[in-house]
Structure 1
Amino acid sequence: MRKLAAALAVAAVMTAMMTACAAGVESGAAAVPPAGAPTAPGGYSATTVRLTGPGYEVDVPQVAGGAEAARNEYNAVMRALAQKWIDQVDGTTTLSPGAGQVTYLGTRAISGLFVVSVYGEGAAHPNNAYGTHVIDARTGREITLRDLFIDVRQGLSVLADQAAVEVPRTRAGDQYSKSGIEATEYNYRLWLATPGGMEIHFGEISSHAAGDIVITVPWSKLDSVLNPGLRDIVSG
């Protein structure tokens, strides 16, 4: 199964590369990190690929170095997130690089945030769309909410309680959609593993002027609901 998963990941990378090259131009290949880019434990470096074509210009977080299976899996998924939006460009929608894209390189986990600015014809303003992906840096295995928590419902309940404390401290203040932080997998699907805690991207759950709301829940607040051993992976 691991060999099959690795083969599928490589195939996905090749498919994404062929699609991008057929539709537009690729620059800043992830195989070569920028000069002076820091190397994380495990030999990884963060870099970016820019995909351009008619109606779109998209930056895709990538990694170089490290374990081949993990690198291929991460890069393929991040490219697939970009391709999903590129496929929707139809003459009435344009894409441009979104601000805030990041790759967190931990000692045992890699997390990536993909951001694209989407502008539809006739819209008052563009909106950001997001995608996240978290993997075990040693194996390339994805870490999901169901992997993270002993009981996902209990874990989401704790996250919702923490969000009720943290969101009012953001630009949203008390003026935000309470349904946007309810204990559902959908509301907490856009998360990243960072040394400081679980970074959660809610998007626009308040006014457009308040922007996209982001909080970080310290791992210490989640200790009681995390699967044994997971904190060591995601917090490193």
Structure 2
Amino acid sequence: MKNPAVPILFSAAFFFYACKKTESKIIDTKTESKSPEKFILDSLSVNDSVKINEKLSVNYASKVLIFPTLKDKALLDSIYYDKKGITDYSKQGLQNFLDKDKAEFFSSVKEDSKEWISDIQNPQTWEAGSFMKLISQNDDFLQIEYLHTSYQGGAHGNYSFDTRVFDLKNNKKLDLKDITTMPKARLEELLMKNLDKLPSGTTNSDGPVKNSDMLLVDVIPANKDFYFDEKNLYFHYSPYEIAAFAAGDIVIPVSWKELDGTINPEFKKRMKIN
């Protein structure tokens, strides 16, 4: 998930999301009687910068996914939860929102910087980024990762993730209780046990560093940022959420076998979990 050097990790993540050109594609899904049509996915990217003065430049980048076949307003409100005030979810509507958001960001930095810009010693570029990424769309479950990045001086930029799963069959955001009824304490035990199942990607002079070596908490909570595949339920943690920044973001898998006996029957059937 991560490279050893955190500043490099931030730059790589920002470059990958910010520089990818607008793309359109159609993803075939399994046909059900309720939704015989193809699921259509489109995307829109914005990447622009402005120079405040000789010392400070500002960059704004964003990528949004667009879903022309989704019409339920409550569902779309949840998908675009981080786009405050948006009401038009068409491609043009989202373009208008990003253009307005970009202009407001540039204006706010320009205004706020008047008091302290003389304190900046070396030329630098401040950044703000927001990027949507499709994890998967299967069995009428739409899984999206949201990456938010920023840099406003200092040793490194900051970034955080949100992960959401949407039930397209019932037009709602999926909650953990819709997947498993496992008691909180038992799930926390599994998360701690599985903390090092996926390598951290962080190294030092002695070699690879385990996630558990950088842990900041005594209990790992089952957070709201989860997704899944045919093998596991995954919990995604942003930097500082459970571990030091050097650990980057951490993903902890919990297998369906470990959750056996607590999986929601309807979910189990739709995911074909044996």
TM-score by shorter chain over 0.5:
yes
1:60 and 2:60 equivalent?
A: no
Shift of 1:181: 4.8
How far off its partner does 1:203 sit?
1.5
Taking the TM superposition and a 5 Å limit, the aligned residue runs for 1:5-84 are 28=22, 34-35=24-25, 37-41=26-30, 42=35, 43-51=38-46, 55-65=59-69, 68-69=71-72, 73-83=74-84
- Assess if the C-alpha contact under 8 Å between 1:60 and 1:78 holds in 2: no
Partner residue of 2:135? 103
CA separation of 1:126 and 1:57: change in aligned 2, threshold 3 A: same
1:50-199 residue pairs with structure 2 within 5 A?
A: 50-51=45-46, 55-65=59-69, 68-69=71-72, 73-83=74-84, 89=105, 90-91=108-109, 94-96=127-129, 101-119=133-151, 121-150=152-181, 154=183, 156-169=184-197, 170-171=199-200, 173=210, 174-177=212-215, 179=217, 181-183=219-221, 187-199=222-234
CA shift, 1:143, in A, is 1.3
Cα offset, 1:115, TM superposition: 0.8
Q: Taking structure 1 as reference, are residues 64 and 142 closer, same or farther at Cα in structure 2, changes over 3 Å only?
A: same
Q: Which runs of 5+ in 2 are unaligned?
A: 1-20, 50-58, 86-100, 114-125, 201-208
Residue 227 and residue 113 in structure 1: after superposition, are their counterparts in 2 closer, same or farther (change >3 A)? same
**Root mean square deviation, CA, Å:** 3.4
TM-score, normalised by the number of residues in structure 2: 0.58
The residue type equivalent to 1:223 in the other structure is: D
- Relative contact order (alpha carbons < 8 A, sep ≥ 6): 1 or 2 greater? 2
Gaps of 5+ in 1: 1-26
Deviation digits for residues 6-45 of structure 1, max 9, x if unmatched?
xxxxxxxxxxxxxxxxxxxxx94xxxx724x432225224
Partner Cα separation in structure 2 for residue 73 and residue 208 of structure 1: 35
State the Cα deviation string for residues 44-63 of structure 1 (Å, max 9, x = none).
24443325577521112343
2:260 match: 223
Distance 1:136 1:199, change over 3 A: same
- Contact 2:192–2:220, Cα closer than 8 Å, also in 1: no
Structure 1 residue identity aligned to 2:82: L
Q: Which residue does 2:17 correspond to in 1?
A: none
Q: Secondary structure at the match of 1:101?
A: strand
Give the partner amino acid of 2:142.
I
| Identity rate, percent | 15
User: Retained in 1: the 8 A contact 2:225–2:236?
Assistant: yes
Q: CA deviation at 1:178?
A: 5.2
* TM-score between both structures, scaled by the size of structure 1: 0.65
Larger Rg: 2
Letter of the 2:185 partner, please give it.
S
User: Is residue 233 of structure 2 the alignment partner of residue 201 of structure 1?
Assistant: no
Residue 10 of structure 1 corresponds to none
Number of residues paired by the alignment? Answer: 194
